[in-house]
Amino acid sequence: MTTLTGMNASVRMAKAQLSALIERAAAGEEVVITSAGRPKARLVGLGPAQVPYRVHRRLLSTKTRNPFPPAEQIIREDRDSRD
For residue 28, is it within any domain?
yes
Report residue 5's pLDDT band, with 50, 70 and 90 as the boundaries: low
Q: How is 2-68 classified by DSSP, letter by letter?
A: PPEEEEEEEHHHHHHTHHHHHHHHHTTEEEEEEETTEEEEEE----SPPPPP---HHHHHS----SS
Task: CATH number of the domain at 28, please.
Answer: 3.40.1620.10
Instruction: Say if 71 falls within a structural domain.
Output: no
Q: Give domain status of residue 31, yes or no.
A: yes
Domain that holds residue 31: 1-46
Whether residue 64 lies inside any domain: the answer is no
Any domain includes 32: yes
- What does the pLDDT look like over 46-57, one tens digit per residue? 888 788 888 888
Number of domains into which the chain is organized: 1
Determine if the pTM surpasses 0.85.
Answer: no
